Amino acid sequence: MEIIEKAPAKINLGLDAIRKREDGYHDLEMIMASVDLSDYVSVRGISEKKVVLTTDSNFLPTDKRNHAYQAAILLMKRFDVKTGVEIHIQKNIPVSAGLAGGSSDCAATLRALNKLWNLELSQAQLAEIGAEIGSDVPYCIYGNTAFVTGRGEFVEKIEDMPSCYIIMVKPKMSVSTGSVFKALDTSSAFHPNIFLIKQAVEEKNYPKMIEHMGNTLESVTIDRYPEIEQIKKAMKKFGADVSLMSGSGPTVFCLVKKENRAKRIYNALKGFNDEVYITRPLKAKK
């Protein structure tokens, strides 16, 4: 039996790193939203007790450095599964980009194996297991638009973000999340008002949402890679309503309401960037 799970990318409409904790992590407040750009994770049971991971991407490790692989090993050990699994990741989301591609693949693997091995774990249980692997995995178990706090383990589903077009640019470099957090000084950093972004999303108030969107980590990554600022400015110049870095970067995205303007921005950005995507928010299944 083969099970296929969709693993969508996310953007941060807001990211506030409030303080550094004693365990080295940061207390966060985030508004995350899934977008219609997805990897696909397929799992197939095998009789031998082992995990075999393959992918069509040249950029992914296929051993224990991969979070999807870690997820399979963790479930296998914890629930004493006697058989094995072949996992295949069809990669469409850019890697090390601030779009949670690796975390989303991990979450999709947990969902798929929950079915394959009849573990009957709830979403909350899967999210708790996912948190052992990475801070963004609990959110990725739920997906769609959510208010996320703590280290990333507290996930509250909220209304879908307002309908719009999303254009994303992935600059060439890869960014390590850990190194960005390490360079962050929360006492002098910019702190967006996450409460107002959340309120705007729940009111479906697009102008209010774009007015308050912000990311504490943006200036840290921009200090290292000034081209991020240039892409942000270009997006605005071409007519975007708002532009922002996602997560710890380096992907920059912009939002726009009108389709013809979105296509114009996409084409203009394509002129001087290799990796440009045009997509839409993913709607929650009612």
Annotated binding site for ATP: 94-104
Please give the annotated binding residues, written as ranges: 94-104
Only segment of 134-142, 199-207, 228-236, 267-275 that touches ligand C5P (CB under 6 A) = 134-142
Q: Which of 16, 39, 105, 136 is catalytic?
A: 136
Name the residue nearer to ligand C5P (CB basis): 110 or 265. Answer: 110
Name the residue nearer to ligand C5P (CB basis): 69 or 165. Answer: 69
Measured from the CB of residue 16, what is the shortest distance to ligand C5P in angstroms?
Answer: 11
By beta carbon distance, the residue nearest ligand C5P is: 135
- Please confirm, yes or no, whether 136 is among the known catalytic residues: yes
Measured from the CB of residue 27, what is the shortest distance to ligand C5P in angstroms?
Answer: 7
Name the residue nearer to ligand C5P (CB basis): 178 or 207. Answer: 178
Among residues 5, 1, 8, 252, which one has the least CA distance to residue 146?
Answer: 8
Measured from the CB of residue 136, what is the shortest distance to ligand C5P in angstroms?
Answer: 6
Name the residue nearer to ligand C5P (CB basis): 104 or 135. Answer: 135
**Cα 231 from chain centre:** 20
Do 233 and 268 form a contact (C-beta atoms < 8 A)?
Answer: no
Do 44 and 276 form a contact (C-beta atoms < 8 A)?
Answer: no
Measured from the CB of residue 30, what is the shortest distance to ligand C5P in angstroms?
Answer: 9
Only segment of 114-122, 166-174, 175-183, 189-197 that touches ligand C5P (CB under 6 A) = 175-183
- Contact between 178 and ligand C5P by CB under 6 A: the answer reads yes
With vertex at residue 165, the alpha carbon angle to CA 38 and CA 177, rounded to the nearest 5 degrees, is: 50
Q: Which of 177, 199, 205, 273 binds ligand C5P (CB under 6 A)?
A: 177
Residues in the interface with ligand C5P (CB under 6 A) total 11
Measured from the CB of residue 98, what is the shortest distance to ligand C5P in angstroms?
Answer: 12
3-state secondary structure the chain: CEEEEEEEEEEEEEEEEEEECCCCCEEEEEEEEEEEEEEEEEEEEECCCCEEEEECCCCCCCCCCCHHHHHHHHHHHHCCCCCEEEEEEECCCCCCCCCCHHHHHHHHHHHHHHHHCCCCCCHHHHHHHHHCCCCCHHHHHHCCCEEEEECCCEEEECCCCCCCEEEEECCCCCCCHHHHHHHCCCCCCCCCCHHHHHHHHHCCCHHHHHHHCEECCHHHHHHHCCHHHHHHHHHHHCCCCEEEECCCCCCEEEEECCHHHHHHHHHHHHCCCCCEEEECECCCCC
- Contact between 26 and ligand C5P by CB under 6 A: the answer reads yes
- Contact between 152 and ligand C5P by CB under 6 A: the answer reads yes
- Contact between 8 and ligand C5P by CB under 6 A: the answer reads no
Q: Which of 18, 25, 174, 189 binds ligand C5P (CB under 6 A)?
A: 25
List contacts with ligand C5P (CB under 6 A): 25-26, 28, 134-136, 151-152, 177-178, 181
Which residues does the annotation mark as catalytic? 10, 136
